Amino acid sequence: MKRGESVDQHEHGTAFQPYDVALQCWKLRQGISRLHVFAVRLKKALKQARRQAIQKDLTQISEQADAADILQTIKKHCRNHQSKELEEAYSYNAALA
């Protein structure tokens, strides 16, 4: 109990503490749900953007292009940045060993 606080005020505060905690948990859960929905939408938009980019690059390649050129174009789009960063980290660690 704080200084200047009556017994009734103290009991009132402790009586509503479980409700307050439950309300904060509910707000947290709602926030996480919104973030999940946002992440799903971003992932879908990223997939669509990747498809459009690869389709654009493939239409720019001539019909007489070698298979290797086509595969390089596709490979450029399929390789994600995380795998590239991991590859660089592994090569750096191998160089240290």
- Asked whether residue 67 is assigned to any structural domain, the reply reads yes
- Asked whether residue 11 is assigned to any structural domain, the reply reads no
Q: How many domains does the chain have?
A: 1
Sign of CA dihedral 86, 87, 89, 90: positive
53-64 residue pLDDT tens = 888 988 888 888
- Asked whether residue 70 is assigned to any structural domain, the reply reads yes
Tokens of 31: 């926030």
Range of the domain at 73: 24-96
- Asked whether residue 30 is assigned to any structural domain, the reply reads yes
Whether the full predicted model's pTM is greater than 0.75, yes or no, is: no
- Asked whether residue 10 is assigned to any structural domain, the reply reads no
16-61 residue pLDDT tens = 788 888 999 999 999 999 999 999 999 999 889 988 988 898 888 8
- Asked whether residue 44 is assigned to any structural domain, the reply reads yes
Tokens of 81: 């940045």
- Asked whether residue 5 is assigned to any structural domain, the reply reads no
